[in-house]
Amino acid sequence: MSVVLWAALASAVTVSEVPDPRAGGGWVSDLAEVIDAGTEARIEERLEALHQELDVEVAVVTVGAVEGTPKAFTHALFNRWGIGDREANNGLLVVLVLGERRLEMETGYGLEPVLPDGWLGTMQAREMVPHFKEGDYAAGLEAGLVAVGARLHRSPEEARRGTEGAIGPDLAPVDPHAGADYSAAIGVSAAFGGGGGLGLFFLLRARRRRRERTCPTCGIEMPMLSEEADDAHLDAGQRLEETLNSVDWQVHQCTQCGHTRSFAVGQWFSGYTRCPECSYKTRETDTVTVLEATTVHGGIEDIIERCEHCGYHHTYTRHTPRKEAPSSSSSSGSSSWSSGGSRSSSSRSSFGGGRSGGGGAGSSW
């Protein structure tokens, strides 16, 4: 082991100690120095292309050790930097913690439907972890980012607009069987600016729903069960999600053969997020301010996470940035937002102000 790598593994860093790569116009902060120059150049080029083409912000960080858990560190760093557009929340943070042999990939709110947790976990096991086991961290990171880029380009409009393009929980079912009709309709609707495009969206959406609710055996449409009757077809975690109003489960059953199919409709503003242990949307997060941020120093917050289903409990500390001093209205355009309110170019020296609720996936090796 090299002296540099040994030192990296021996020293735990805090989120405030990780250099912001955007200060230099880049996307990679390789503190552990495990990415060779050629690979880093290709990764930077790839991430810059994603930003230019899709307005997505992807940051990569490698460290030897971190304070707290890798997941808590990644979440705190994501929100400290504000990765992703402020309205679209379409950011992704990739953190490699060598000392714990752990990879974390955290998504902003707007990328969770495009890069779901399950897909990220499967992709990591297939594309990245085999390289990490061989000690080739650069190759593993590059392979994962290639896969992420391909996935984002399959749904470019959804990736670009993120939460900015959301049209309400009743029109955004959390359905793993949602296919090309939905994505195509969103794109057509945006292209036509509403109007006829929106009408086509509803037509395609209705067609897709009829197909999904047709019994594969009998070929007849399956009616939806009542709230009381569908409980018999849900497990304990799903029933709790309904009680907490974090997910509305809709169960359809064939009247002839009894075949059932369940659909989850996410409730966006329930206050609950997906638990990293049991995967149900039953995790509640409380924030306690320990030290208020001022224009002189940053603040400190204690984050308490609890799962109502499995009892998962996690507490960590998050450092918040200093408050900006009031600036004169005559100051020049040093902000990351242009005067017209549009998204700025990649030449800005900071991320776009996106947020994450803890979505994503991690792997160990």
Beta-bridged to residue 283, according to DSSP, are 273, 307
More confident call, 67 vs 198: 67
Residue 38: inside a domain? yes
More confident call, 253 vs 206: 253
Answer whether residue 170 shows pLDDT above 90.
Answer: no
DSSP H or E stretch at residue 34: none
CA distances from 162 to 56, 195, 246 (A): 9, 21, 20
Helix (H, G, I), strand (E, B) or coil at 65: strand
In the DSSP assignment, the letter for residue 269 is T
Q: What percent of the chain is predicted at pLDDT more than 70? A: 79
CA quadruple 201, 204, 208, 210: dihedral sign = positive
CA distances from 231 to 24, 134, 228 (A): 54, 47, 6
Give the burial class of 226: count Cβ atoms within 10 A of its Cβ; 0-12 exposed, 13-18 middle, 19 or more buried.
Answer: exposed
Mean pLDDT of 11-23: 91
CA atoms within 13 A on the CB side of 145: 30
Tell me, what amino acid is at 69? Answer: T
Instruction: Provide the CA 227 distance to its chain's centre, in angstroms.
Output: 31
Give the structural domain span for 116.
3-159
Q: What percent of the chain is predicted at pLDDT more than 90? A: 51
Give the burial class of 343: count Cβ atoms within 10 A of its Cβ; 0-12 exposed, 13-18 middle, 19 or more buried.
Answer: middle
Dump strand ranges (E) for 213-282.
247-253, 260-266, 272-273
Which residues are within 8 A (CB) of 253 and not within 5 positions of it... i.e. 6 or more apart? 222, 223, 225, 233, 259, 260
Weakest-pLDDT range from 7-11, 222-226, 233-237: 7-11
Read off the pLDDT band of 349 (50, 70, 90): low
Residue 101: inside a domain? yes
CA distances from 168 to 90, 205, 256, 284 (A): 17, 14, 34, 22
Residue 270: inside a domain? no
Residue 221: inside a domain? no
Q: How far apart are CA 13 and CA 31, in angstroms?
A: 10
Domain total in the chain: 1
Which residues are within 8 A (CB) of 113 and not within 5 positions of it... i.e. 6 or more apart? 158, 172, 174
Tell me, what amino acid is at 97? Answer: V
Q: How far apart are CA 176 and CA 179, in angstroms?
A: 8
CA atoms within 13 A on the CB side of 52: 8
CA distances from 254 to 264, 293, 356, 358 (A): 18, 57, 39, 37
More confident call, 319 vs 203: 319
pLDDT of residue 49: 93
Q: Contact at 8 Å (CB) between 141 and 111?
A: no
Residue 10: inside a domain? yes
Which residues are within 8 A (CB) of 70 and not within 5 positions of it... i.e. 6 or more apart? 95, 97, 100, 102, 104, 362
Residue 46: inside a domain? yes
Answer whether residue 90 shows pLDDT above 50.
Answer: yes
Residue 21: inside a domain? yes
* Beta strands at 91-97 and 57-63: parallel, antiparallel or unpaired: parallel
CATH of the domain at 139: 3.10.310.50
| pLDDT tens digits, 113-124 | 999 998 999 999
Q: How far apart are CA 110 and CA 360, in angstroms?
A: 12
Residue 177: inside a domain? no
- Triad 119, 143, 278: Cα angle to 5°: 25
In the DSSP assignment, the letter for residue 297 is S
Instruction: Calculate the average pLDDT of the chain.
Output: 81
- Tell which residue, 72, 104, 71, 107, has the closest CA to residue 88: 107
